[in-house]
Structure 1
Amino acid sequence: MELVENTLPADLDTVLDRPLFCFFATASPDGYPRISPLWYLWEDECIWIIADTIEKSYTTRVERTPETAAAIVDFDPTSGRVYHVGMRGRSTIEPLDDARATRLLRRYLGPNREEWDDRFASLDPERWGLIRFEPESVVARDQSFSPSL
């Protein structure tokens, strides 16, 4: 992974460890890009995304064109914080790893699986997998501003 630029005042891993949205970009067969806002886990220098392999089209797009991109933005209008991390790389569809999926979901749903939304409490490995996005290049920028709110 090549870190092309990093102006963040915080460690890159610290920013990516926050439960933010990953805007995941794939290529469509018609030539137009598609972006999906998704939950993610930053682990082993990869972004991991839970993937519905039956009902969502982004898994088919990844299989067809593995060259993908991701953007994560940490934005707080009251403090003026804007941290942007943009990545380009390649993705693969991996079998569901329940331990990794649980670590991912805990970031967003909390530690008690019994309290999770039913859609996420028990993932069927026949339907669900993981997208493994391995960044080849990363640009991390502090684009913060003086807030007026």
Structure 2
Amino acid sequence: MAVTQRRGRRIMMTPDEVDAFLATERTCRVATVSRDGAPHASPLWFAWDGTSLWLYSIIRSKRWSDLRKDPRIAVVVDAGEEYGELRGVELTGTAEFVGESPRVGEPCPELDAPERLFARRVFGLDEMPHDGRHAWIRLTPDAVTSWDFRKLAALG
């Protein structure tokens, strides 16, 4: 007996579609948990390396402070204006802090590839400019949820 998939499964993106989407979008919304348990959401630019989402955050931000106290994180990247064109990806997991804080450019081989990627995508540069106010957060997701409402037309 065949199992009918839920509509949500039928409109989810394939792994290749998720990669392509995250490689082209620029802004995400980062959700954290504050000390008092209240949620906090804020927009941020990011880079996707095919495995992890790299966030370059101001270290004096509420987001940074929240994640230092509780590293649980959810990130949404979405696009579309009309209902039938909405699409997006939610990534959840644990934030990891990589490199020095604040980042001033000390050698860190682990950051070579993400900094090159981020510098090209965000600044149009070959090298990452460091301002001494930001540092890196890596999210290697435990769970990825996606949707592409453009697939609804094919479902009838």
TM-score bucket of the superposed structures, by smaller chain: 0.7 to 0.9
Q: Which moved more, 1:44-53 or 1:62-71?
A: 44-53
Does the CA contact (< 8 Å) of 2:46 and 2:118 recur in 1? yes
Alpha-carbon distance in 1 for matches of 2:25, 2:122: 6
Given residue 135 of structure 2, which amino acid in structure 1 is its aligned partner?
A: G
Does 2:61 match 1:47? no
Q: 1:63 aligns to what?
A: 68
Does the CA contact (< 8 Å) of 1:90 and 1:134 recur in 2? yes
Does the CA contact (< 8 Å) of 2:97 and 2:137 recur in 1? yes
TM score, norm. by length of structure 2: 0.71
* Identity percentage of aligned residues: 24
Structure 1: stretches of 5+ with no match in the other structure: 114-120
Q: Which moved more, 1:94-103 or 1:26-35?
A: 94-103
Q: 1:117 aligns to what?
A: none
Q: Which moved more, 1:103-112 or 1:56-65?
A: 103-112
Residues 68-147 of structure 1 aligned to structure 2 (within 5 Å): 68-77=73-82, 80-95=84-99, 96=103, 97=111, 100-111=114-125, 122-124=129-131, 126-144=132-150
Given residue 123 of structure 2, which amino acid in structure 1 is its aligned partner?
A: L
Does the CA contact (< 8 Å) of 1:19 and 1:107 recur in 2? no
Structure 2: stretches of 5+ with no match in the other structure: 1-7, 104-110
Alpha-carbon distance in 2 for matches of 1:17, 1:129: 21
| Higher RCO (CA < 8 A, seq sep 6+) | 1
Q: CA RMSD in A?
A: 2.8
Alpha-carbon distance in 1 for matches of 2:124, 2:21: 19
Q: Residue 111 of structure 1: CA displacement? A: 4.0
Q: How many corresponding residue pairs?
A: 133
Q: Residue 129 of structure 1: CA displacement? A: 1.4
TM score, norm. by length of structure 1: 0.74
Given residue 115 of structure 2, which amino acid in structure 1 is its aligned partner?
A: A
Does 2:39 match 1:25? no
